């Protein structure tokens, strides 16, 4: 701390609440009686020709001041209000000692002047930094005259004491500066305080600028809107209102449920209270338009003509009796409830929820339109393939930009009725990711016990879906979540027989493609033999989609031919090569099973039933099993079980056990296609026995069934599709599990007539009947 260079001396003291005077400051001070006595005492004791000096100390409530400023009295007079005042200039910082005596009524104290501390390089650097901050703040205020004064100050102590004029410093901070003798410490305090204040000023100025810009923009928009409203009024286009009266009129005129009406009126009230510039007004208008566009109390009347409904279904689609029967039953129940005065509109379980599961091309999607026509209802299709966002079903919250109701609500709006037929297409292709699980959102939609109070996130109103007929279409039932499948009535469509395809082609496909090619029935004729040939050798599909494409190709070529030469065209079986090219499919079972170790199995894929060839071979080496063909875990386990069974029952099967201790390789061709499931177990056993005995598997035999370690044949799924595939592949004998015998009731009669279906319980019996006799077998090398 600096040491005093002057001895103590008595001076009169003037206590001032404000301002806090620092050395170098020139300030006016109002004089009360005590202050006037101090001034008069200073003037009376001043030597001739010298300026009167007194001590100005801050008036403190909690303690006696320890520091003050020795100030010279420049002028004494009166202020415009009439009160007495003195203009003083602070000279030196002084430490207050004990009391002293002096003339007059003033209070005298003993003071010691505080000498300035030594100026070091650090002090100079601190003064430079403080001056930068001080100038930056003064430049922001555009106080250019004060900037010039500050620039001329070179003494660090004098620069620090200019803070007495700073309005942003409190009296407490100024008193701390007065009581701090060291210049360096005073400068550090000022750098911190000024830096904080400058940062606060910059933030405040930025906020003020943003507010000013926003106000300017709002004022500009307001002016433009007023001008636009005046222009429209002159043109007679609008009355200048915000549209709330129009919405109230629309709500009053609309046939809305009570809870919906109340919610809509509340939103209109918000619209009236919001400003025109508020974005909330646009959100409310969009919501009101959506609500008013929904058919809350509009319903179509179901057809009561059961026979007419069945005729419509039969006219649009061949076969599919299960679906047609279910729709007619639905109409019959509603008709009886109406006759007996029971509620048939709304309520739990009054609708229907069915899932049509089957391979592509069998008419699942088009069946929805036929069902709607048969019921006399509106039809709307909702494509769910690839949907991964839960908001697509339940809608977005209204707070999001671009928020929309979900697809279910939009479907009801498109239909214009609360009881349409809604087809949920490709429901097995719904996925899930970070945006939620749409399949989970569908649980409430498709639950007849819950969907009478379905709540969309956007509408936030209860929507009654209980009277909607939901038809879902899927290719693979296993891909539908179990909880969702449990809420729907499953109707399986397994595919068409050859006779079905012929009837569909003659009644539906051929007339449609003739019309599209602008051909008349008298201009082109396709024989029955040609249609059967297309179904058998040009397509191997459970449906008729590819069949129709080939007919379209044929009609285009016929139209081209008629353009060159006149006369009707007859397309017979021998003519197909010239119209469609060579057949894509030919019977290959005999070729594939011409060597031992190959057996024909039956499988079900997403495209329907198909034949599956399983090959087994053995090479010298340590006993092991190698599996190829992109097999799933269950199918790999079936191969292990089959090999274990054959090894354990080698004597019963007539197999040399030594041939099974080699390196066994089981392959399932079409290696690029993943395969899984247990139903190939009996086929693997047959292929292994055929490989080990050298006896070929009969080329006309197909088989399916799961096998156990003791040779039992367990039931499988998809029997109808597998038998249809066997018929298409030209097989004549099919071995199935005995426990699947009851499922033969679902198989068309013409398929059963074309196949020798043999229910089996023991795989050894299948092997015995499937292999060629030993005397005609080709011996293994």
Catalytically active residues, by annotation? 679, 722
481 is known to lie in a ligand binding site: no
361 is known to lie in a ligand binding site: yes
What are 399's two structure tokens? 């707070």
The residues, any chain, with a CB within 8 Å of residue 666's CB and separated by 6 or more, are 614, 615, 616, 625, 626, 627, 628, 639, 643, 684, 687, 688
CB 679 within 8 A of CB 715: no
CB 69 within 8 A of CB 90: yes
Partnered with residue 666 across adjacent β-strands are: 616, 627
359 is known to lie in a ligand binding site: yes
365 is known to lie in a ligand binding site: yes
Spatial separation of the C-alpha atoms in residues 712 and 691, rounded to whole Å: 21
Q: Which helix (H) or strand (E) is 381 found in, with range?
A: strand 379-383
174 is known to lie in a ligand binding site: no
What are 474's two structure tokens? 């899927």
Residue burial 376-412, b: 16+ Cβ < 10 Å; e: rest: bbbbbbbebeebebbbbbbbbebeeeebbbbbbbbbb
What are 760's two structure tokens? 């089996």
Name the one residue in this structure whose structure tokens are 């002096």.
102
358 is known to lie in a ligand binding site: yes
Q: Which helix (H) or strand (E) is 109 found in, with range?
A: strand 108-113
CB 724 within 8 A of CB 633: no
CA 352 to chain centre: 29
Backbone phi and psi for residue 730, each to the nearest 5 degrees, phi listed first: 85, 15
CA-closest candidate to residue 190, choices 137, 140, 117, 151: 137
Spatial separation of the C-alpha atoms in residues 90 and 54, rounded to whole Å: 10
What are 193's two structure tokens? 């305080």
What sign for the dihedral angle of Cα 642, 644, 647, 649? negative
CA-closest candidate to residue 701, choices 618, 593, 597: 593
As annotated, the binding site includes 358-365
As annotated, the binding site for ATP includes 358-365
């Amino acid at each position: 701390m600096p040491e005093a260079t002057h001895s103590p001396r008595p001076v009169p003291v003037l206590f001032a609440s404000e301002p806090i005077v620092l050395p170098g400051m020139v300030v006016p001070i109002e004089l009360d009686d005590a202050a006037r006595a101090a001034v008069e005492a200073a003037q009376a004791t001043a030597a001739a020709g010298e300026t009167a000096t007194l001590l100005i100390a801050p008036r403190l409530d909690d303690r006696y001041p320890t520091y003050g400023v020795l100030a010279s009295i420049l002028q004494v007079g009166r202020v415009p209000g009439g009160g007495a005042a003195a203009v003083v200039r602070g000279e030196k910082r002084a430490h207050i000692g004990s009391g002293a005596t002096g003339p007059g009524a003033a209070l005298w104290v003993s003071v010691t002047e505080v000498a300035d501390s030594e100026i070091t390089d650090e002090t100079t650097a601190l003064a430079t930094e403080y001056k930068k901050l001080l100038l930056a703040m003064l430049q922001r205020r555009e106080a250019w005259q004060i900037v010039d004064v500050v620039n001329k100050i070179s003494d660090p102590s004098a620069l620090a004491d200019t803070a007495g004029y700073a309005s942003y410093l409190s009296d407490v901070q100024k008193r701390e500066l007065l009581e701090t003798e060291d210049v360096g410490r005073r400068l550090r305090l000022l750098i911190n305080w000024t830096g904080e204040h400058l940062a606060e000023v910059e933030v405040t100025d930025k906020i003020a600028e943003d507010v000013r810009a926003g106000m300017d923009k709002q004022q500009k928009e307001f002016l433009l809107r007023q001008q636009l409203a005046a222009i429209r009024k002159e043109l007679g286009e609008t009355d200048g209102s915000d549209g709330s009266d129009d919405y109230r009129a629309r709500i009053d005129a609309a046939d809305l449920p009570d809870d919906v009406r109340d919610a809509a009126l509340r939103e209109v009230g918000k619209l009236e209270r919001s400003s025109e510039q508020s974005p909330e007004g646009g959100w409310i208008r969009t919501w009101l338009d959506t609500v008013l566009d929904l058919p809350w109390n509009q319903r179509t009347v179901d057809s009561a003509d059961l026979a007419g409904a069945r005729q419509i279904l039969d006219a649009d689609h061949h076969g599919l009796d299960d679906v047609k029967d279910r729709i007619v039953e639905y109409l019959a129940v509603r008709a009886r409830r109406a006759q007996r005065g029971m509620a048939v509109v709304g309520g739990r379980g009054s609708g229907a929820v069915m899932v049509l599961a089957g391979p592509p091309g069998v008419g699942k999607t088009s069946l929805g339109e036929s069902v709607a026509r048969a019921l006399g209802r509106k039809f709307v299709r909702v494509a769910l393939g690839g949907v991964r966002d839960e908001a697509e079903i339940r809608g977005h919250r209204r707070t999001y930009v671009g928020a929309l109701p979900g697809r279910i609500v939009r479907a009801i709006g498109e239909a214009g009725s609360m009881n349409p037929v809604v087809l949920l297409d490709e429901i097995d292709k719904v996925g899930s990711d970070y945006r939620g699980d749409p399949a989970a959102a569908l649980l409430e939609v498709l639950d007849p016990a819950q969907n009478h109070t379905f709540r969309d996130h956007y509408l936030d109103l209860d929507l009654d879906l209980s009277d909607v007929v939901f038809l879902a279409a899927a290719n693979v039932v296993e891909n539908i979540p179990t909880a969702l499948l449990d809420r729907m009535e499953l109707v399986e469509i397994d595919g068409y027989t050859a006779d079905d395809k012929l009837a569909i082609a003659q009644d539906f496909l051929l007339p449609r493609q003739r019309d599209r090619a602008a051909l008349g029935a008298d201009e082109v004729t396709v024989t029955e033999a040609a249609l059967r040939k297309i179904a058998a050798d040009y397509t191997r599909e459970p449906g008729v989609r590819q069949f129709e494409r080939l007919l379209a190709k044929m009609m285009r070529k016929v139209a081209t031919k008629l353009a060159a030469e006149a006369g009707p065209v007859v397309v017979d079986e021998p003519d197909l090569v010239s119209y469609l090219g060579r057949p894509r499919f030919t019977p290959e079972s005999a070729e594939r099973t011409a060597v031992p170790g190959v057996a024909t199995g039956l499988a079900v894929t997403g495209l329907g039933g198909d034949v599956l060839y399983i090959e087994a071979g053995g090479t010298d080496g340590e006993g092991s099993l190698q599996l190829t063909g992109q097999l799933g875990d269950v199918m790999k386990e079936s191969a292990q079980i089959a090999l274990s069974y054959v090894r354990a029952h080698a004597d019963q099967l007539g197999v040399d056990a030594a041939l099974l201790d080699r390196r066994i390789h089981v392959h399932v061709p079409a290696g690029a296609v993943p395969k899984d499931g247990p139903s190939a177990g009996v086929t693997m056993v047959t292929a292994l026995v055929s490989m080990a005995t050298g006896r070929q598997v009969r080329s006309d035999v197909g088989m399916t069934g799961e096998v156990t370690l003791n040779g039992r044949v367990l039931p499988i799924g998809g029997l109808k599709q597998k038998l249809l595939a066997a018929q298409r592949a030209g097989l004549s004998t099919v071995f199935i599990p005995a426990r699947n015998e009851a499922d033969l009731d679902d198989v068309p009669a013409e398929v059963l007539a074309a196949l020798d279906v043999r229910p089996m319980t023991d795989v050894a019996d299948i092997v015995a009947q499937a292999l060629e006799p030993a005397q005609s077998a080709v011996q293994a090398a």
